[in-house]
């Protein structure tokens, strides 16, 4: 990156926003001479005039006014990113949680009304992703992640959801392919196994639990988000694996069915993951307590690595 000196940018932004070298010096806790020198450094680096001087007053040039707008926007962005990374500048009730899209849409969001009613003082920001690469940053207070994404060095983890993994599809799909036992899956077309790019290991795990071989688990349609795969299954496109609590509403409405109700059911877990080395704010403590109660599971052991 070919960037100008940061101190010069800060001095220019303050002087331009306040319209005064002296006011900028007071804001930055330096002398007016120091601000003037930094502005000159920036003008020399850019090769343009940013201010016109009239006695003791300054006025932005047209170039300076345009540059000020851009500099102010980007400095504000740096400040926001820094506050998110460090937790500084946040209200006591502010809480930012990142969750896998599947868990958020199918399990967490339907329960959030109870949380907001019980903790109205907390301002919850919920961000979601189905891409494992988006997780592991320090820009959130905690993350809700599947166990397959672990271990998580430097973090503690609490078990939130411990669910049976079941095969689901539409009622019409059961009839079309006469699905009466897991062995019947060998007759499905190549695009009949619906998969999520976020959980590529589920089919192999399920067939290993059944002790069933001879089915190619690497074929079939791939979706970037499990919720899309569930919609495809409900539309009759194929069979899909799902944690039971996430598909219970569609099962009760008859959009999906479990064709093999007595088949073995491997487990799929989701954990609340949060840094071990941070002092947790009151908002996070309240959310964690509520979340574990909703999951009705005891706190898991530390997941430090």
Residues whose CB falls within 8 Å of the CB of residue 285, separated by 6 or more in sequence, listed in order: none
Residue 228 confidence (pLDDT): 86
Residue 298 confidence (pLDDT): 44
CA dihedral for 203, 204, 206, 212, sign (positive or negative): positive
For the chain, the maximum distance between any two Cα atoms, rounded to a whole number of angstroms, is: 91
Work out the number of other CB atoms within 10 angstroms of the CB of residue 127. 14
H or E, element range at 171 = helix 171-177
Instruction: Name the average pLDDT for the chain.
Output: 86
Q: What are phi and psi of 234, to 5 degrees?
A: -65, -30
Ordered structural domains, the chain, with CATH: 6-86 (1.10.10.10), 93-305 (3.40.190.290)
H or E, element range at 15 = helix 6-18
Residue 303 confidence (pLDDT): 40
CB 91 within 8 A of CB 274: no
Could you say which DSSP state residue 252 is in? Answer: H
What 3-state class would DSSP assign to 256? Answer: coil
b/e map 78-114, b = 16+ CB within 10 Å: eeeeeebeebeebeeebbbbbbbbbbbbbbbeeeeee
pLDDT in tens, 165-205: 999 999 999 999 999 999 898 888 878 889 888 787 888 88
Mean pLDDT of 41-47: 94
pLDDT in tens, 118-153: 999 999 999 998 888 888 877 889 999 988 888 888
Using CA atoms, how far apart are residues 79 and 215, in angstroms rounded to an integer?
53
Which residue, chain included where needed, has tokens 């009760």? 252
How large is the C-alpha radius of gyration of the chain?
28
pLDDT in tens, 210-244: 888 777 767 777 888 788 888 899 999 999 998 99
pLDDT in tens, 258-273: 999 988 888 989 999 9
């Amino acid at each position: 990156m070919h960037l100008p000196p940061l101190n010069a940018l800060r001095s220019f932004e303050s002087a331009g926003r306040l319209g005064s070298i002296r006011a900028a010096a007071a804001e930055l806790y330096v002398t007016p001479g120091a601000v003037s020198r930094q502005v000159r450094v920036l003008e020399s680096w850019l090769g343009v005039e940013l201010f016109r001087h009239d006695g003791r007053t300054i006025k932005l040039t047209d170039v300076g006014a345009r540059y000020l707008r851009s500099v102010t926007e980007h400095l504000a962005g740096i400040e926001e990113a820094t506050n998110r990374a460090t937790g500084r500048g946040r209200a006591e009730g502010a809480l930012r949680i990142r969750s896998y899209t599947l868990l958020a849409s199918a399990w967490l969001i339907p329960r959030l009304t109870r949380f907001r009613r019980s903790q109205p003082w907390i301002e919850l920001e919920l961000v979601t992703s189905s891409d494992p690469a988006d997780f592991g940053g320090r820009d959130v207070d905690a993350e809700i992640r599947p166990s397959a994404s672990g271990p998580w060095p430097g973090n503690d983890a609490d078990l939130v959801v411990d669910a049976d993994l079941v095969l689901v599809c539409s009622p019409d799909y059961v009839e079309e392919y006469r699905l009466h036992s897991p062995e019947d899956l060998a007759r499905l077309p190549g695009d009949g196994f619906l998969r999520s790019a976020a959980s590529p290991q589920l089919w192999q795990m399920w067939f290993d639990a059944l002790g069933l071989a001879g089915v190619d688990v690497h074929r079939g349609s791939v979706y970037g988000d499990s919720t899309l795969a569930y919609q495809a299954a409900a539309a009759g496109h194929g069979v899909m694996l799902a944690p039971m609590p996430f598909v219970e509403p569609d099962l009760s409405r008859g959009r999906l069915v479990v064709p093999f109700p007595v088949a073995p059911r491997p487990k799929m877990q989701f954990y609340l993951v949060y840094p071990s080395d941070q002092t947790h704010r009151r908002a996070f403590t309240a959310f964690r307590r509520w979340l574990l109660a909703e999951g009705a599971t005891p706190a898991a052991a530390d997941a430090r690595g």
